[in-house]
Structure 1
Amino acid sequence: MQPEEKTIMKPGFSLSITLDAFNKRARTDDCLGQVAAISGESIRIAREMNAEKLIFKARKEQTVHLLEKGFVLEACIPGYFLGSDCYLFSKYFTEHRRNSAFWTKEDLILEEVTKLKRKPEIGSLPVGYGARRAVLEDADDLAALYSAVFEIYPVPMNDPEYIKKCMGKDTVFFICTFGGKIVSAASAECSAVYHNAELTDCATLPDHRQFGLMKILLSRLEEHLFENGTFCVYSIARSLSFGMNAAFHQLDYTYKGRMANNCYIFDKLEDMNVWVKNLA
């Protein structure tokens, strides 16, 4: 089930909102005009679709109003809006969506991750492995990879046509191969308007996780983004995954908050940590 993107224009404001029925949430991605009208319309739409959570990507001047309307500040992405900071607020509509069963465990994981030494230097590919940018013809193999790694994923990455659609909308994939087979992949979802990018869709087959392939792919994506003038880079990683959080910490990303019960991934609804890096 693919998320639905909508643009709404009314007297006094406009907003872009994503309706994500699979994850039972809505997300206000961008807006212009009267913040009271924007928040009210966003809440109305979220309730109309029976969303359990509404995410709002806010600018600094909108933060006080959102706090007054019961939104909770969960994370921040410095430089997201062409150099201006983005504040990730959430409003919850059910008790179970608000309350996390793993929060203290995730705190302990984060403590252990941040004790690790940062290792921005990247190792070389092991013998027999290759790394390159993915092309449309890789969509079937990419879908097979995501199907093998994730029992549940927030978006339909097991669908080759969805992957092709992403590639056609400013999403860049880099892959590692072994024996002609894709064994690891990651992508950068780029914003042509605000020149930021989300590193996402990180997956490696279990038998190939000991070689640091993900760090190599993330580094290749960073090089591509830098060369194309994108400097604000962020990622949202499973809070329960020591490995993924360690990878971002060691690549010199900074932890900027945690979004409770943010999406269905791996095998359940999970909290997600926000990591940010300024490539400039």
Structure 2
Amino acid sequence: MRVQSEQKRFQTPSYVADVFLDYFNQRVRVENYRGNIKQIMIVLDQLVDDHQFTKIIFHAKPEQWTQLLSFGFELEAVFKGYSNGSDQYAMAKYKTNDRRTSEHWVKEDDILLDVYQKGRDVKAKELPEEYTFRRAIEKDSTKLAELYNKVFDIYPTPMNEAHYVQKVIQTGSIFYIVECKGEIVSAASADVNRTYHNAELTDCATVPEHRKYGLMKKILQKLEEELKKEQIFCAFSIARSLSFGMNAVFYQLGFDYTGRLRKNCYIYDKLEDMNVWVKDLSDFNN
């Protein structure tokens, strides 16, 4: 089976760059770098030619993001506090008109407005007694994979494979689950970066017939508490722009919308736009 993604380090006397090659989503991403940006661009262009990538993502430092404009990049989102409290700017460049063009952009704007109009103060729903919450362990990997296989036809990472889920847990991601009558019906994770002290809240999934109780909102609150214990204060998430429910959840939890990543990854049945939501967990008024 072909590798879906891999990370490589490129370095010369003039630069160092850690580059994430995402074959499944046809994109390349730079997250950590220093040195000569112009030389890094040459490497990226070569990778695009070699692998037919259609999107380049460059996570730039605050003092350098405008430099990328001269290379044809545009600003898509700001990850506030991403790197030990310093912001990170998500710059993007597209290699095809199809990848750059979003057919649902205006609809996604309308969904965002609906989210704002609903407001942050939404009364929590009472849960039936059969729902129980807990932190997941490695033994839950098979049932978690079954959940993701049931909820998503296509997902950016192979979360429908038990061995992959187990590896994700082993490498430090925190999963919280909801069980009903012995079955996992909802789950989400915090992918913790202990170098830059941030965490992505991701892998949010709830079986359709259990979505009326607001389980995901409660799971994310529990993940926030776990992150605070580890003094991880930058929490962010990338939610489907077409999903009113998930965007409403993050807004209600005090996250701020900071941009949209155009045709960022395959989910459900197509390449989808993703909204970026960020929260400072050290701000107890948030």
Task: Look up the SS of the partner of 1:188 in the other structure.
Answer: strand
Q: Which residue of 2 aligns with 1:127?
A: 129
Residues 30-49 of structure 1, C-alpha deviations (whole Å, 9 max, x = no match): 11112222233223223321
TM-score by length of 1: 0.97
Task: Look up the SS of the partner of 1:193 in the other structure.
Answer: coil
How far apart are 1:223 and its partner, in Å? 0.3
Q: Which residue of 1 aligns with 2:87?
A: 85
Letter in 2 for 1:54: I
Unaligned runs of 5+ in 1: none
Conserved? CA contact 1:195–1:231, under 8 Å: yes
Within a 5 Å distance, the mapping from 1:177-188 to structure 2 comes to 177-188=179-190
Which segment drifts farther, 119-128 or 15-24? 119-128
Conserved? CA contact 2:197–2:234, under 8 Å: yes
Task: Look up the SS of the partner of 1:61 in the other structure.
Answer: coil
Q: 1:58 aligns with which of 57, 60, 71?
A: 60
2-structure distance, mates of 1:22, 1:153: 10
Task: Look up the SS of the partner of 2:78 in the other structure.
Answer: strand
How far apart are 1:61 and its partner, in Å? 1.9
How far apart are 1:64 and its partner, in Å? 1.8
Percent identity, please.
48
How far apart are 1:226 and its partner, in Å? 0.6
2-structure distance, mates of 1:266, 1:99: 19
Q: Which residue of 1 aligns with 2:153?
A: 151
How far apart are 1:267 and its partner, in Å? 1.6
Q: Summarize the Cα distance change of 1:5–1:125 in structure 2 as closer, same or farther, 3 Å threshold.
A: farther
Q: Which residue of 2 aligns with 1:250?
A: 252
Task: Look up the SS of the partner of 2:200 in the other structure.
Answer: strand
Q: Which residue of 2 aligns with 1:142?
A: 144
Task: Look up the SS of the partner of 1:114 in the other structure.
Answer: helix
Conserved? CA contact 1:3–1:155, under 8 Å: no
Across the two proteins, how many residue pairs are aligned to each other? Answer: 280
Within a 5 Å distance, the mapping from 1:1-280 to structure 2 comes to 1-119=3-121, 125-280=127-282
1-structure distance, mates of 2:123, 2:58: 35
Task: Look up the SS of the partner of 1:214 in the other structure.
Answer: helix
How far apart are 1:170 and its partner, in Å? 2.0
2-structure distance, mates of 1:42, 1:194: 24
CA RMSD between the two structures: 1.3
1-structure distance, mates of 2:46, 2:56: 10
2-structure distance, mates of 1:125, 1:38: 52
Residues 133-171 of structure 1, C-alpha deviations (whole Å, 9 max, x = no match): 111110000000000000110010111111111112221
Q: Summarize the Cα distance change of 1:227–1:122 in structure 2 as closer, same or farther, 3 Å threshold.
A: farther
